[in-house]
Amino acid sequence: MTSVQFYHNAADPLALACELVGNAHRGGRKAVVVCPDAEQARLLDRRLWVADPGDFVPHVMNDSPLAAETPVVIGLAGDRDWPHTDMLFNFAAELPAACERFRMVVEIVGPTEAERAPARERWMQYKQRQFPLKAFDAERRTAL
* Cα 52 to Cα 15, 46, 61, 108, 135, distances in angstroms: 11, 12, 20, 20, 26
What's residue 92's pLDDT?
A: 94
* pLDDT per residue of the chain (144 residues) written in tens, 0 to 9: 999 999 999 999 999 999 999 999 999 999 999 999 999 999 999 999 887 667 789 999 999 999 999 999 999 998 989 999 999 999 999 998 889 999 999 999 999 999 999 999 999 999 999 999 999 999 888 898
pTM of the model: 0.94
* Cα 68 to Cα 42, 48, 124, 144, distances in angstroms: 19, 18, 32, 35
What's residue 37's pLDDT?
A: 96
CATH superfamily of 6-143: DNA polymerase III subunit chi (3.40.50.10110)
Sheet with 87-90, side-by-side order of all strands? 59-61, 72-76, 31-35, 87-90, 104-108, 3-8, 133-137, 142-143
Query: Domain coordinates of the chain in residue numbers?
Result: 6-143
* Cα 131 to Cα 2, 29, 101, distances in angstroms: 6, 20, 12
